[in-house]
Amino acid sequence: MRWNLRMVAAERGIWKSTELRRRLADAGLEISTGKMSGLWTGTPTTIRLEDLDVICAVLNCSPTELLICEPEKVAASRPKLAEASSSGAVPSVVPRLGRNRSKPPV
């Protein structure tokens, strides 16, 4: 997923992170300068759902406008199962036995 806060804010006439931070504070959400920088530059580490609600309310948008799915990245990170099956090698699942575990009930 890609974070799209800056573009959504610009569409609503908010061009500076300090202005958005002030509006969020007016709505009851105090964000540190460092966290606001991460949100603004598109590299947020975490965001609480309650905070996302306030951001959406201030920007009059939905979370789907702020979070953009990138399915091509997901597809690129998947292991290539087609290559393994075409070569005849089928990946096998081998159970690992735990140490000192009791046996399941009969």
Per domain, the residue ranges of the chain are: 2-68
Q: Which of the following CATH numbers is that of domain 2-68: 1.10.1240, 1.10.12, 1.10.260, 1.10.3470?
A: 1.10.260
Instruction: Determine which helix (DSSP H) or strand (DSSP E) holds 4, and give its type and residue range.
Output: none
pTM: predicted TM-score of the whole model, two decimal places: 0.67
Segment 64-96, tens digit of pLDDT? 999 988 888 777 777 765 555 555 666 677 666
- Looking at residue 2, the DSSP 8-state letter turns out to be E
Segment 27-52, tens digit of pLDDT? 999 999 999 999 999 887 889 999 99
d(CA 16, CA 42): 14
CB 3 within 8 A of CB 44: yes
